[in-house]
Structure 1
Amino acid sequence: MSTMFALHRFKLLSLLLLANGGALLYLSLGDIKPLAIWSWTDIAGEGGSALLVLVWAGLLLKGRPAGRVTNLLFLGLACLFFSLWMDSLDEFIALPDTLLLDHWLESAPMPLGFVLLTMGIYHWHCEQLAISAQMINRERHFREHRHFDKVTPLGDAGYFRRQLEQALPAAQLNQEPLSLVMLDIDEFSAINRAHGHREGDRVLQLVTQQILLNLRSHDLLCRLAGDRFIVLLPATLEAQAQTLAKELEDSVAHLALKSAGQGERLRISATTVALMARQEDANALLKRINVVMARAKQAPQLQRVGA
């Protein structure tokens, strides 16, 4: 629960302040009804529904990182909660018959909430389809191998090497291009030092999910070691791989991450490189892309030294 409050405390506090504001508004405009005329059936139905929607919102925030889908789902649930909450206040507070504000506060947020929920569920559905397609591809290979990464649901360096050793001859035989993209998270060790290795593992898991959302179903993503990932791209020219590398770099940079401890924003970036296989074996290809990555990682440091 503390993690949820740390990550999304402003959303929850805003919703509670809005609910309190609605209650104070009704109290200022009306009078509390006598206990004898309270409708306990309506109170249980409307108040219980509002409470359940609030629980749904809490579970949503506890289980998802910040982002567009989370915001849409939370705003939809917040509208539903507010509508049910204001409707339940009618059971305790008598408002003047001439006042129309209560009808708007009770009715207007409900359809807006359903629209926002529908949009959020649609984008969530698209996310899950992309992730499921990637995981089906992983599971098909993992049934035959035990080279799992311990942090992410990906194959390790040994598994990737074997897949590359199989893919290279097949690509040469079919005269098809084959490319690789390597991604390295910048200054990842600083996250481990500042927030601990558990937080670092969580960042790796979220970055993995973000990369998978940008890949095709037949692409293969593996974790080489530490904060370095590699993607095998069958039937892909080098220009296409470079475009994908830039997209992955941008998607990681725009990933909305907050620490699980204090909820502060974690700004991360990544260095990506791409190249196409030549007439070479897996060892030579992996050595070449590692050299290209090393040069790419050194370039910003040399610029800072030169400045």
Structure 2
Amino acid sequence: MTFMLATHRIKLTALLIAANLGLMLHLLSGEIKPVSAWDWLDVAGEGGSAVLILVWIGLLLKSRPAGYVTDLLFTGLGCLFFSLFMDTVDEFIALPAAVNWDGWLESGPMPVGFILLTLGIFHWHREQLAINEQMRNRERLFREHRQFDKLTPLGDANYLRAQLQLALGEANDARQPLSVIMLDLDAFSRINREYGHAEGDRLLQVLTQLLLLNLRQHDLLCRLAGDRFAVILPHTGERQAQLLAGEMSLAVRSLAYKSSRQGERIELSATVVALMARDEDTETLLQRLNIAMARAKQHLTVQYG
């Protein structure tokens, strides 16, 4: 017997005792019919149904923990089994005409069993709805977890696109402005080359914390790729977004980041652009941002040669 069935042994014992008491009562009150009087069709139908219900009970108790719903389902099936078992016993044992309690044993538990079984199925259905909701939530969390960057605690490019699409829809419905900032760390490849990729990874983690500290609570920071970040700014016009972009650029330049090798300060700067969303989709807005970033980088190259 499996562990799950063992936890339900009291239920099984009670059902076995009830069935045996009914059988004993018939044997004490009547006499066994001759084989020629047996109705084999009834025996097969009623007895076979009782056996099938026993199989259902076994599957139920093997797959479910003890509890209110299990008790309802078991008791309902137990009543159906008892009625069918008494019907089967009645095919083998003849009772005196004065005995009338056999009708109660055969028919009485049947409607009670159906009522309890219906209640059990109703509560089981509610259980399944709750479980399905939990599974959907877990699937959503797992799917979103896969869209988070492995190095920083930020969403990746796919997560940014999904959230930006939602933000654009909400901004359009509420008729509120929405802006986006893109930040690209200057000369990051040189830092990786001179100090190693481990130092570069550490720098990106520190930079992430710095940027988060310089954003508002409802802003969303994501890492696009490498040293490029993007920020979704709900309820923000382009002028305010440009002010925030300037503050982020200043914060990067002011960061006194020390290398883990010798502790010398690594001078940092970042190119930052900000745009307000128009009546456009996610990809169009990101394309405009990338073009604005490319122009800002080109201007920086020409300026500092």
TM range (shorter): 0.5 to 0.7
Match of 1:240, SS? helix
| Rounded Cα–Cα distance in structure 1 between residues aligned with 2:142 and 2:264 | 36
Q: Which residue of 2 aligns with 1:164?
A: 164
Amino acid at match of 2:236: T
Q: Which residue of 1 aligns with 2:211?
A: 211
Q: Which residue of 2 aligns with 1:146?
A: 146
Normalised by the size of structure 2, how large is the TM-score?
Answer: 0.53
Q: Which residue of 2 aligns with 1:235?
A: 235
| Rounded Cα–Cα distance in structure 1 between residues aligned with 2:178 and 2:216 | 14
Change (3 A) 1:288 1:259: same
- How far did 1:217 drift? 1.1
Q: Which residue of 2 aligns with 1:298?
A: 298
Deviations for 1:163-187, whole angstroms, at most 9, x for unmatched residues? 0111111101110000001100000
Report the structure number with the largest CA radius of gyration: 2
| Rounded Cα–Cα distance in structure 1 between residues aligned with 2:271 and 2:142 | 28
1:219-298 → structure 2 map (5 Å cutoff)? 219-298=219-298
Q: Which residue of 2 aligns with 1:81?
A: none
| Rounded Cα–Cα distance in structure 2 between residues aligned with 1:286 and 1:255 | 28
Q: Which residue of 2 aligns with 1:84?
A: none
Normalised by the size of structure 1, how large is the TM-score?
Answer: 0.52
Amino acid at match of 1:251: A
Deviations for 1:221-242, whole angstroms, at most 9, x for unmatched residues? 0000000000000000000000
- How far did 1:148 drift? 1.3
Match of 1:263, SS? coil
Is the Cα contact below 8 Å between 2:144 and 2:159 reproduced in 1? Answer: no
Match of 2:264, SS? coil
Q: Which residue of 2 aligns with 1:132?
A: none
- How far did 1:303 drift? 2.5
Match of 1:173, SS? helix
| Rounded Cα–Cα distance in structure 2 between residues aligned with 1:239 and 1:254 | 23
1:107-126 → structure 2 map (5 Å cutoff)? none
Match of 2:202, SS? helix
Deviations for 1:196-240, whole angstroms, at most 9, x for unmatched residues? 000000100111100000111111000000000000000000000
| Rounded Cα–Cα distance in structure 2 between residues aligned with 1:193 and 1:144 | 33
Match of 1:262, SS? coil
Change (3 A) 1:141 1:176: farther
Is the Cα contact below 8 Å between 2:199 and 2:260 reproduced in 1? Answer: yes
* Contiguous gaps of at least 5 residues in structure 1: 1-139
1:41-60 → structure 2 map (5 Å cutoff)? none
| Rounded Cα–Cα distance in structure 1 between residues aligned with 2:141 and 2:269 | 30
1:71-150 → structure 2 map (5 Å cutoff)? 144-150=144-150
Higher-RCO chain (CA-CA 8 Å, sequence separation at least 6): 1
| Rounded Cα–Cα distance in structure 1 between residues aligned with 2:142 and 2:271 | 28
Change (3 A) 1:141 1:173: farther
Deviations for 1:15-54, whole angstroms, at most 9, x for unmatched residues? xxxxxxxxxxxxxxxxxxxxxxxxxxxxxxxxxxxxxxxx
Match of 2:229, SS? strand
- How far did 1:276 drift? 0.2
Amino acid at match of 2:154: L
| Rounded Cα–Cα distance in structure 1 between residues aligned with 2:266 and 2:188 | 11
- How far did 1:190 drift? 0.4
Equivalenced residues, count: 166
| Rounded Cα–Cα distance in structure 1 between residues aligned with 2:215 and 2:141 | 17
Is the Cα contact below 8 Å between 2:165 and 2:281 reproduced in 1? Answer: yes
Match of 1:180, SS? strand
Q: Which residue of 1 aligns with 2:173?
A: 173
RMSD of aligned Cα (Å):
1.6
| Rounded Cα–Cα distance in structure 2 between residues aligned with 1:180 and 1:159 | 15
